[in-house]
Amino acid sequence: MIEVTNEGREAPLSTEELIARVVGLSQGMREHVVDAVDRMSDINRGIHLLSMNARVEAARAGISGAGFGVVAQELTRLSANMKEAATDVVRKSQTMGSDLDGVVRLLNEDVVAKRLCDLAYNAIDVVDRNLYERSCDVRWWATEPAVADCLREPSAERRRYASQRLGQILDSYTVYTDLVIADAQGEIIANGRPGHFRSVGANVASAEWFRSAMATKSGTEFGFESVHESPLVERQSVLAYSCVARGPRAQTLEFPERAALFRGKRCVVETQIAGQPLLVCHAASPGFETYRTGWHALLLRSDEP
């Protein structure tokens, strides 16, 4: 069935609306049957009275009233048939109504069950997608140069800068309680929210998230610990994702013309890098709408084979 929208277009009804329509039609059908049987009963009472009157008149007329007797018998038979038909209609309508109620109930239960299952699936799908993003985040942030520099040379300045970078990440990704950097022995050497959580100096070597990360073979893998009370964030319940920092994403190219090259939007210079003559072609990122990265793209060309 369909319904018509204000724009005059036909809009399909939902399954729940269709079930409600079926229930309404079923109830309407039963009311109609009850009304019809009541009318049949009224007619039958009239026929029964006619039959009784015909019998009285036949008895009063004697032989000449034999015809009334035949009419009386026929009316009696018609009345009995009418009563039987009305009883049969009531019985069958009750049976069919009960069967229809059962079908509608099962259909409604099936629809409700399916809808609840769909809701459960949607809920866990949102959780899966959200947690998958967390695993991507931790693998990406493990390539942050400030993290690698802090682990390679954990001076006070590099720890401070790494903590600042983690804090910037936390300001953008508000789903995280804190981000920490641990050395190979499991000691926390920096965290993103030092003003909130004093986790620096704690040792997490026995933590599942640390051990599972240290057991990974590459940066495509990650460690994980399910919901637990973490002492690093004042025993709040958290999920922990972890990844081994295996160094920065790329090396910095140093050459004499670099600063001047980066001041332009598109430039080409001939220079030498590591003793090799190269043609360096540069383009600064123009950005897109309100988004700016400030990055630069370099293409290096060598004439040597």
pLDDT at 117 over 80: yes
- 225/204 Cα distance (integer angstroms): 12
pLDDT at 50 over 80: no
Look at the pTM and tell me if it is higher than 0.85.
Answer: no
**Predicted local confidence at residue 305, as pLDDT:** 59
Question: Strand 236-242 relative to strand 223-230: parallel, antiparallel, unpaired?
Answer: antiparallel
**Predicted local confidence at residue 5, as pLDDT:** 47
CATH level 3 topology of 2-128: Helix Hairpins (1.10.287)
- 25/66 Cα distance (integer angstroms): 50
| Predicted confidence band of residue 2 (pLDDT cuts 50, 70, 90) | very low
Instruction: Tokens 């933590």: give the residue.
Output: 207
pLDDT at 199 over 50: yes
Contact 163, 142 (CB under 8 A): no
pLDDT at 167 over 90: yes
Highest mean pLDDT among 33-37, 97-101, 113-117: 113-117
pLDDT at 223 over 80: yes
CATH level 3 topology of 142-242: Beta-Lactamase (3.30.450)
Torsion angle (degrees, nearest 10) of CA 225, 228, 234, 236: 110
| Predicted confidence band of residue 4 (pLDDT cuts 50, 70, 90) | very low
**Predicted local confidence at residue 287, as pLDDT:** 87
Question: What is the average pLDDT value for the chain, to the nearest integer?
Answer: 83
- 30/253 Cα distance (integer angstroms): 86
**Predicted local confidence at residue 102, as pLDDT:** 75
Cα 276 → chain centroid: 55
- 165/159 Cα distance (integer angstroms): 10
Cα 205 → chain centroid: 37
User: DSSP secondary structure string, 179-192?
Assistant: -EEE-TTSBEEEES
- 240/135 Cα distance (integer angstroms): 10
**Predicted local confidence at residue 27, as pLDDT:** 72
pLDDT in tens, 68-96: 667 767 777 777 777 777 777 777 777 77
Instruction: Tokens 């004697």: give the residue.
Output: 62
Average pLDDT over residues 99-126: 80
Q: Per-domain residue ranges for the chain?
A: 2-128, 142-242, 258-301
- Percent of the chain at pLDDT exceeding 70: 90
- 283/203 Cα distance (integer angstroms): 45
Token readout for 221 is 């893998």
Q: 271 by DSSP, 3-state: which?
A: strand
